[in-house]
Amino acid sequence: MVPNLNIGDVVILQKIKPDDVKLYDIVEYKTKTKRIVHRVVEIQKKQDGLYFITKGDHNPGNDHDPVFQDQIVSKVIFRIPIIGFPAVWLNFSK
């Protein structure tokens, strides 16, 4: 998510209902194996619910798979720059 979220930044997340997600929000969503924080670049309303097209700010293109409404967990509401560097350093020095 560089340049808006950098390694070592800590983000504050707030739970959100899919209906409250707006275009260009940075959201956390879950997959089968991990959680991802990316920006919403398109919202599609279909018969079976909402779909979100997401993109990492540093990535050249949109994410391959759309995000279904039940995958949405939270939204980034605040960023604290560089405060997480000690944790990053400890994890990389192992």
Whether residue 61 is contained in a domain is answered as yes
Please give the average per-residue pLDDT across 50-74, as a whole number.
Answer: 97
The confidence score (pLDDT) of residue 94 equals 59
Whether residue 4 is contained in a domain is answered as no
Whether residue 62 is contained in a domain is answered as yes
CA distance 31 to 50: 16
Query: For the chain, what is the mean pLDDT?
Result: 92
Q: In this prediction, what percent of the chain has a pLDDT beyond 70?
A: 98
Long-range CB contacts for residues 20-25, cutoff 8 Å, separation at least 24: 21/50, 21/52, 21/72, 21/75, 25/75, 25/76
- CATH number for the domain spanning 15: value is 2.30.30
CA distance 76 to 66: 19
How far apart are the two ends of the chain, measured CA to CA in Å? 24
pLDDT at residue 87 is higher than 70:
yes
pLDDT at residue 91 is higher than 90:
no
Whether residue 31 is contained in a domain is answered as yes
Whether residue 2 is contained in a domain is answered as no
Residue 40 structural domain: 10-92
Enumerate the β-bridge partners of residue 23: none
Whether residue 1 is contained in a domain is answered as no
Query: Considering its fold, how many domains does the chain have in total?
Result: 1
Whether residue 25 is contained in a domain is answered as yes
